[in-house]
């Protein structure tokens, strides 16, 4: 079984993120293989130091290719020149001074990863267009397709040079055009995320890096000097979308590498990817279809970033939580007193202020759908049971809750598996929907007993419900939240028989019970 798995992995990596099973460097002469260091004009020297060596996590290390081979190109687009790129060349002062770049506007660098390019990866041009619709930006697409081909270990070595090229470009634009590196934002995908990290490490005061599913092979479990880490920019936000271990064919990192790391859908299997693998051949052509077929989960981080730039209707707020299960169980819906326990994924992530300029790292969770624009309305539903003074029995069962809003209503199976329901206890749930419900006006609850006691056929079990609270989670609010108009009172003296609909209405009298 193991040889078959190895062959399968190698074939997949050859298509997208090849680790290559060869034991020796690819197409490298004996003289080149024995070199300890390679130096490049303007960029400095690159050597294989001890921090880059790991028998398990980085088994093959080679020096990067030369600058001509890698051929890093920086292509500038602006609102005034949205379709025709201006080629920026750091060593050509004229190309810099004549560039239609406005130093008063923020600079966005877009950097691709392994086996990608400006032409092959339409996502870069699409993201560029989104930014130019959004506002006045200087958008620079970084194409390093000369150095990102198999074998994968050689491409990882070349990322160090590309990072140095990006840093040099920022310094050159700073010198001749007056931009500020604090206003520069690098969006990198896969290997591009680590390129951004290398650039930021050189610049020291780079404004922001967004890592879209940073590549795992050769980077995870490696020291910060080898990979993206929180010291590489003033603010680093990361979207994990394919964080399955590489042995199970996952391409992205699972470890935290930013100030704020978002894990939509646990950062692993993304909704819609099973069907998208086949549909994309029809809807997006052979190139994009091939990309999606091999790496839909890996690409989804780019989809998420893209659809936060101009989409305003729903806000994808992530919440800090111990793990994905606790988030799904509705245990994490508080932003905290200083709002540092929640953040907006995507373009607005930099609104997250509490942890800027620190090495503290937080993990944020949220759910998405599998359809554009992906965002869901999230609600925390709390059901508080009343403990009557008279003799009563606790019950077992499940909850169904219907939210009635000003724009629509929806039924949720809040508790699908039967649990013990103890009177006096409080139960929390996470429910999500694509439908816009508007302001929640009332709530109905149906509980279903799972008891198999024959006497319950005659005497139906009853549940005493004190109140239901419904908290919208697509907004950032300090804790404690304002619960006015979010609490729906029950009638504790009127217990609810099993399979009976009970409706709860807003009443501020319930607030005293919270």
Question: Model confidence at 394, in pLDDT bands (50, 70, 90)?
Answer: confident
Question: CA nearest 239: which of 262, 219, 260, 216?
Answer: 262
* Least confident among 25-39, 174-188, 450-464: 25-39
116 is catalytic: no
φ/ψ of residue 232, rounded to 5: -80, -10
| DSSP E strand boundaries for 78-226 | 86-88, 107-111, 138-143, 184-189, 208-212
Please, what are the domains in the chain? 2-366 (3.40.50.1820), 377-513 (2.60.60.20)
Spatial distance between the Cα atoms of 48 and 499, rounded to a whole number of angstroms: 68
pLDDT of 4 higher than 60: no
394 is catalytic: no
Mean pLDDT of 2-21: 37
Spatial distance between the Cα atoms of 228 and 199, rounded to a whole number of angstroms: 10
Task: Give the residue with greater pLDDT, 284 vs 212.
Answer: 212
pLDDT digits (tens, 9 = 90+) for 461-510: 889 999 999 999 999 999 988 888 899 998 877 889 999 999 999 887 77
> Choosing from 65, 112, 185, 213, which is the catalytic residue?
213
pLDDT of 245 higher than 50: yes
Spatial distance between the Cα atoms of 173 and 487, rounded to a whole number of angstroms: 55
Question: Model confidence at 460, in pLDDT bands (50, 70, 90)?
Answer: confident
pLDDT digits (tens, 9 = 90+) for 77-111: 999 999 999 999 999 999 999 999 999 999 999 99
Spatial distance between the Cα atoms of 57 and 217, rounded to a whole number of angstroms: 7
The long-range contacts involving 273-277, CB below 8 angstroms and separated by at least 24 positions, are 273/297, 273/300, 273/370, 275/370, 276/370
Model confidence, pTM? 0.90
Quick one: which H or E segment has residue 273?
A: helix 273-309
* Least confident among 112-121, 352-361, 437-446: 352-361
Residue 13: DSSP 8-state: I
Please tell me the predicted confidence (pLDDT) of residue 27.
44
DSSP H helical ranges for 137-272:
152-176, 191-203
CB 85, CB 125: distance < 8 Å? no
Quick one: which H or E segment has residue 37?
A: strand 37-40
Residue 231 tokens read as 């010291």
Question: What's the burial of 428, exposed, middle or buried (CB within 10 Å: 0-12/13-18/19+)?
Answer: middle
Residue 52 tokens read as 């880059």
> Choosing from 145, 190, 280, 295, which is the catalytic residue?
190
Torsion of CA 232, 249, 116, 280, to 10 degrees: -120
pLDDT of 347 higher than 80: yes
Secondary structure (3-state) at 99: coil
117 is catalytic: no
> Choosing from 298, 307, 378, 423, which is the catalytic residue?
298
pLDDT digits (tens, 9 = 90+) for 129-155: 999 999 999 999 999 999 999 999 999
Q: Beta partners for 463? A: 496
CB 343, CB 317: distance < 8 Å? yes
């Amino acid at each position: 079984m193991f040889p078959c798995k190895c062959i399968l992995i190698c074939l997949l990596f050859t298509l997208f993120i090849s680790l290559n099973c060869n034991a020796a460097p690819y197409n490298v002469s004996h003289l080149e293989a024995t070199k300890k260091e390679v130096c490049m004009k303007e960029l400095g020297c690159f050597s294989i130091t001890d921090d880059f060596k790991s028998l398990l996590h980085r088994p093959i290390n080679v020096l990067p290719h030369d600058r001509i081979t890698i051929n890093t190109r920086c292509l500038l687009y602006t609102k005034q020149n949205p379709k025709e790129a201006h080629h920026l060349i750091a060593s050509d002062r004229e190309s810099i001074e004549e560039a239609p770049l406005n130093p008063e506007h923020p600079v966005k660098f877009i950097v691709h990863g392994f086996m990608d390019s400006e032409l092959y990866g339409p996502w870069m041009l699409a993201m560029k267009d989104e930014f130019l619709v959004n506002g006045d930006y200087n958008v620079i697409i970084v194409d390093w397709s000369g150095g990102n081909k198999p074998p994968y270990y050689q491409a990882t070595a070349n990322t160090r040079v590309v990072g140095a090229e990006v840093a040099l470009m920022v310094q050159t634009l700073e010198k001749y055009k007056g931009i500020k590196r604090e206003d520069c934002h690098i969006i990198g995908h896969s290997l591009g995320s680590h390129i951004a990290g290398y650039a930021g490490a050189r610049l020291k005061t780079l404004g922001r890096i967004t890592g879209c599913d940073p590549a795992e092979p050769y980077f995870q479990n490696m020291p910060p000097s080898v990979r993206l880490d929180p010291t590489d920019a003033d603010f680093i936000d990361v979207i994990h979308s394919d964080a399955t271990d590489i042995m199970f064919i996952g391409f992205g990192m699972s470890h935290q590498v930013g100030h704020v790391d978002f894990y939509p859908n646990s950062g692993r299997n993304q909704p819609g990817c099973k069907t998208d693998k086949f549909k994309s051949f029809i809807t997006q052509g052979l190139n994009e279809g091939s990309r999606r077929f091999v790496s839909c989960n890996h690409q989804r981080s780019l989809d998420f970033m893209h659809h936060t730039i101009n989409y305003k209707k729903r806000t994808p707020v992530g919440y800090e939580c111990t793990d994905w299960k606790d988030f799904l169980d509705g245990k994490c819906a508080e932003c905290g007193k200083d709002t540092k326990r929640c953040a907006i994924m995507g373009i607005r992530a930099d609104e997250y202020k509490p942890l800027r300029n620190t090495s503290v790292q937080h993990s944020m969770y949220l759910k998405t759908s599998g359809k554009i624009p992906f965002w869901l309305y999230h609600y925390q539903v709390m059901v508080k049971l009343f403990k009557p003074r008279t003799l009563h029995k606790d019950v077992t069962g499940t909850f169904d809750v219907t939210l009635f809003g000003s724009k629509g209503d929806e039924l949720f199976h809040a508790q699908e598996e039967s649990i013990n329901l103890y009177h006096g206890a409080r139960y929390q749930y996470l429910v999500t929907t694509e439908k816009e419900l508007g302001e929640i006006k009332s709530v109905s609850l149906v509980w279903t007993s799972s008891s198999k006691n024959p006497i319950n056929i005659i005497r139906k079990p009853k549940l005493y419900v004190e109140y239901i609270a419904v908290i919208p989670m697509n907004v950032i609010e300090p804790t404690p939240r304002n619960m006015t108009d979010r609490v729906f009172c029950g009638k504790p003296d009127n217990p609810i028989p099993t399979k009976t609909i009970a409706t709860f209405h807003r009443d501020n009298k319930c607030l005293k019970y919270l």
